[in-house]
Each structure stands twice: as C-alpha cells, then as structure tokens.
C-alpha cells in the first residue's frame, strides 16, 4: 500500500485514510432518493475537502496541493449550480438552517481559496531561500569517504549548508522532493558505480527535470559509453 501513503508528506500520511472515507461518502450519496439532499451532501463533502486541503497542504509538491483545491472547489461549485434544477423541498425551519450553513460554507471556502492563493503569490515574490546550498550525489561504496571529506572541507569554507544523505536524510520518500525544492545545486561525484545506483540516477533526473543546476565532479577517467547507457537498465544495482 505504499502508493497510498508516499504521495503525502511524512507527517500527513494519516490523511490517506481520510481520503478513503471521503470517497466512500461520495459513493454512498446516491443512495438517498432526494436529489436536493444528494447535491447538498456532495457540496458539503467537496467544500470541506477544499478547506482541509488548503489548510493542511498534505501533498509533497505545492502544485499538487493547489490542483487539489481547484478540483474540489470546481466540484463544489458544480453541485451548487445544480441545486436549482433539483426538486426543492418545502420551505421550513430545517431547510432555512441548511441554506444558512450552505452560505457559511461558501464564504469559508472562498476565504480559504483566496488565502491560499495569496500565500502562494507572496511566497513566490519573496523568493524563499532554499535549505541546502549543495547536494552531494554519490555512490556510498565508491565515493562515500570522498563525499564526507568534501562536506567537511565545504563546511570549513562556510559555503552554506551541504546535504549528505548519511547526515540529513531522515525519510527516503522525501529524497527527490528535497532535490527538487530545497537544493540550489546538485554536485554529482562521478564514479563508474554512480550510474548503476537507481537513487543516484533519480536525483540526477529530478534535478534535470526541475531545473536544478548540476555540477559533475569526475573521480574516474572512464566515462559511460553509448553501450553502457543503452544497457543501463541491466546494470542497475538494485
């Protein structure tokens, strides 16, 4: 069941159970025969999910959190627009109360969406500095000692915080997110073995896809040839 939990931040993995409850509630909504109540229930589910997601930000990547808010808000708005086409119940006290709650939920949802958009806009304009100046990508057996020595030397030079997995990696599931969001420059200690390690290849690929500058440090005279690159899947050290 890793695919359920690894999409979220380590401290937010419990929310996957909440998503299952949400999906169950959505699937049970059509059981009630009244279309008005069905739409009202769907709106309540999606609006609460929209508010909860914008508040907790459970996904690993900020774009996923924003997309989740937009999708839930769209479905909630669709349910509200569909309400006039349903058979409205007789106007009485409980219907009035539901409409009041509906209006409060709309106001709260709009407030949370506006607040989330404002926070994202401000954070982008403020250009929050990344946590690590350098990330040392290396094969432990071939270049573990070199990576340790390099970090010690860079620390003495006060170049900034240097990421070394032996010191800074607390959760393996956040490795690629760290490279993507918290690293200014990826330093690859190029040995023949580094091209056979899937985690090293994943770090290099993530940096390349997300525009993180990559600096190779050649520790061997042998560079991967075309045959090695074409058969790299067979050479992976799993």
Whole-angstrom distance, CA of residue 55 vs CA of residue 49: 10
The per-residue DSSP string of 83-94 comes to GGGS-PPPP-HH
The continuous run of DSSP H or E covering 162 comes out as: strand 162-163
Whole-angstrom distance, CA of residue 202 vs CA of residue 208: 10
CA angle 183-188-194, nearest 5°? 125
pLDDT value of position 186 = 92
Structure pTM?
0.50
- Going residue by residue through the chain, which has 238 residues, state the pLDDT in tens, using 9 for 90 and above: 555 666 777 777 788 888 889 889 889 888 888 787 788 788 888 888 887 887 788 887 777 887 888 888 888 878 877 776 776 655 554 565 566 556 666 666 666 666 666 666 555 555 567 888 999 998 888 888 888 888 888 888 878 889 998 888 887 777 888 888 888 899 998 888 888 888 888 889 888 888 889 988 887 756 666 666 566 555 555 4
The continuous run of DSSP H or E covering 183 comes out as: strand 183-190
The token pair that represents 61 in the structure block? 């990547």
String of b and e for 117-135 (b: at least 16 CB within 10 Å)? Answer: eeeeeeeeeeeeebebbbb
Whole-angstrom distance, CA of residue 187 vs CA of residue 218: 10
Closest CA to 57 of 177, 149, 167, 175: 177
């Amino acid at each position: 069941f890793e695919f359920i939990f690894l999409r979220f931040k380590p401290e937010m993995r419990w929310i996957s159970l909440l998503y299952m409850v949400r999906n169950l509630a959505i699937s049970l909504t059509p059981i009630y025969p009244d279309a008005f109540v069905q739409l009202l229930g769907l709106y309540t589910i999606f609006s609460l999910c929209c508010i909860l997601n914008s508040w907790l930000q459970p996904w690993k990547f900020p774009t996923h959190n924003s997309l989740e808010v937009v999708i839930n808000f769209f479905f909630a708005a669709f349910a509200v627009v569909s309400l006039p086409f349903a058979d409205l119940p007789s106007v009485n006290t409980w219907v009035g109360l539901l409409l009041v709650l509906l209006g409060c939920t709309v106001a709260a949802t709009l407030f949370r969406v506006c607040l989330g958009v404002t926070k994202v806009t401000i954070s982008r304009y403020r250009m929050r500095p990344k946590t690590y100046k350098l990330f040392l990508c290396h094969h432990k057996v071939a270049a573990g000692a070199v990576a340790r020595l390099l970090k010690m030397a860079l620390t003495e030079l006060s170049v900034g915080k240097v990421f070394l997995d032996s010191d800074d990696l607390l959760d393996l599931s956040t490795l690629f997110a760290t490279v993507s969001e918290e690293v200014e420059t990826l330093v690859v200690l190029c040995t023949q073995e580094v091209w056979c390690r899937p985690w090293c290849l994943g770090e290099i690929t993530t940096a390349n896809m997300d525009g993180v500058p990559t600096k190779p440090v050649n520790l061997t005279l042998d560079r991967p040839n075309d045959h090695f690159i074409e058969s790299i899947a067979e050479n992976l050290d799993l």
